[in-house]
């Protein structure tokens, strides 16, 4: 029995022969170039489809100067922040006919360099860098020239780098103003390590919303439920305990709620609690469910997609942009009948 020819081995010449056209006509039809009758173009496309012909993507990229691909480099191993960003980014790029390659670099600079080198070998039209925290990161270890690149939920030491970030300060003001509007007078802030930029910005937003700041009500620890429980115990031991707590993230907030409920403190009637991130794994599992600030990461990804497309088309962009957050109220601040 003779061996059947693999569909992937068909050439442009095979397509031209099958469609009954010249090699040049077949090339123009598949590259969407030149002036051809629609009937001829359709016949060539149909022949390519029947043969299972796939053009050489790299050769086409060289021919037209664009590969219609973009690379995404992340060091967010768990995907907590990267996945919603990628969803928004991919939605916009897909509509523009651009494919997205995702690479996980963890925190290994050499691994990141290898990923970038491979993506450059595929002649991607642009690069997106993201991570698990919005702090600054070193410039990539490879020269990228004028290749369009954008940092999302991440920043770069490179002067003029295009960075898209959530407005942490504005989000903190939303949370604190929400508690003030509910009539809360003594609002505590339990948050993460001070070396995080997001922690400093969220504390700044909290402080800007208050007429008076009590240092006893500001507690820094780590990003954990255990720290939330510990901080709640410290606040309950104060002679004048708070009537509301704004937590720096949802894990801390959930730990706070658990500790308050264990001490028979009614949430939200005695102490209202609001978190940050709107991570539904935490907000929906808490009892009561957590009010939280949403960083709108999917929208951040969509905006990155739109900007990157414009950069690929030749527009110049530079600097840091911070996009608004949204407050999502739930039962930890809003009493239900």
Q: How confident is the model at residue 4 (pLDDT cuts 50, 70, 90)?
A: very low
Token pair belonging to 241: 């305990």
Does residue 77 have a pLDDT over 90? no
Domain 69-166+297-324 has CATH 3.40.50.2300: yes
Bridge-based pairing of strands 126-130 and 69-74 is parallel
Token pair belonging to 14: 């095979």
| Parts of the chain belonging to CATH 3.40.50.2300 | 69-166+297-324, 168-295
Report how far residue 296's alpha carbon sits from residue 29's, in angstroms, rounded to the nearest whole number: 42
The pLDDT value recorded for residue 237 is 97
Which of 33-42, 267-276, 288-297 shows the lowest mean pLDDT across its residues?
A: 33-42
Cβ pair 246, 228 in contact under 8 A: no
For the ranges 12-21, 43-52, 116-125, 231-240, the maximum mean pLDDT occurs at 231-240
As a residue count, the chain comes to 337
The pLDDT value recorded for residue 141 is 60
> Domain spanning 7-55 has what CATH number?
1.10.260.40
Task: Give phi and psi for 177, each to the nearest 5.
Answer: -65, -35
Alpha carbon distances (Å) from 231 to 189, 190, 224, 227: 10, 7, 11, 6
The pLDDT value recorded for residue 9 is 61
Does residue 216 have a pLDDT over 80? yes
Taking residues 76-85, report their average pLDDT: 83
- Topology of domain 168-295 in CATH is Rossmann fold (3.40.50)
The pLDDT value recorded for residue 54 is 64
Does residue 259 have a pLDDT over 80? yes
Identify which of 225, 218, 216, 72 has the alpha carbon closest to the alpha carbon of residue 152. 72
Does residue 244 have a pLDDT over 90? yes
What's the alpha-carbon Rg for the chain, to the nearest Å? 27
The pLDDT value recorded for residue 198 is 95
Taking residues 209-224, report their average pLDDT: 96
Does residue 57 have a pLDDT over 60? no
Report how far residue 41's alpha carbon sits from residue 15's, in angstroms, rounded to the nearest whole number: 12
Burial class of 176 by CB neighbour count within 10 A (0 to 12, 13 to 18, 19+): buried
| Parts of the chain belonging to CATH 1.10.260.40 | 7-55
The pLDDT value recorded for residue 6 is 42
């Amino acid at each position: 029995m003779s061996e059947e020819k693999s569909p992937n081995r068909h050439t442009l010449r095979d397509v031209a022969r099958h469609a009954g056209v010249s090699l040049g006509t077949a090339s123009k039809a598949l590259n969407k170039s030149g002036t051809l009758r629609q009937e001829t173009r359709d016949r060539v496309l149909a022949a390519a489809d029947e043969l299972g012909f796939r053009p050489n993507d790299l050769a086409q990229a060289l021919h037209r100067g664009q590969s219609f691909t973009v690379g995404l480099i992340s060091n967010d191993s768990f995907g907590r922040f990267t996945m919603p960003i990628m969803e928004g980014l991919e939605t916009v790029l897909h509509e523009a006919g651009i494919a997205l390659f995702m690479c996980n670099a963890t925190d290994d600079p050499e691994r990141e360099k290898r990923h970038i080198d491979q993506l450059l070998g595929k002649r991607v039209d642009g690069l997106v860098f993201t991570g698990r925290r919005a702090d600054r990161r070193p410039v990539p270890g490879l020269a990228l020239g004028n290749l369009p690149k954008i940092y999302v939920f991440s920043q770069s030491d490179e002067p003029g780098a295009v960075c898209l970030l959530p407005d942490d300060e504005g989000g903190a003001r939303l949370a604190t103003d929400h508690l003030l509007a509910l009539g809360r007078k003594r609002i505590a802030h339990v948050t993460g390590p001070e070396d995080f930029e997001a922690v400093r910005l969220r504390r700044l937003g909290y402080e800007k919303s208050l007429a008076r700041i009590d240092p006893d009500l500001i507690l820094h620890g780590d990003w954990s439920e255990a720290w939330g429980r510990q901080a709640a115990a410290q606040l309950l031991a104060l002679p004048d305990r708070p009537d509301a707590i704004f937590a720096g993230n949802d894990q801390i907030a959930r730990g706070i709620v658990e500790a308050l409920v264990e001490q028979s403190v009614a949430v939200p009637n005695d102490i209202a609690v609001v978190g940050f991130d709107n991570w539904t794994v935490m907000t929906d599992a808490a009892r009561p469910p957590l009010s939280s600030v949403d960083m709108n990461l999917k929208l951040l990804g969509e905006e990155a997609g739109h900007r990157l497309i414009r950069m690929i088309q030749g527009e110049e962009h530079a600097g840091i942009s911070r996009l608004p957050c949204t407050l999502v109220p739930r039962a930890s601040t809003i009493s239900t009948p």
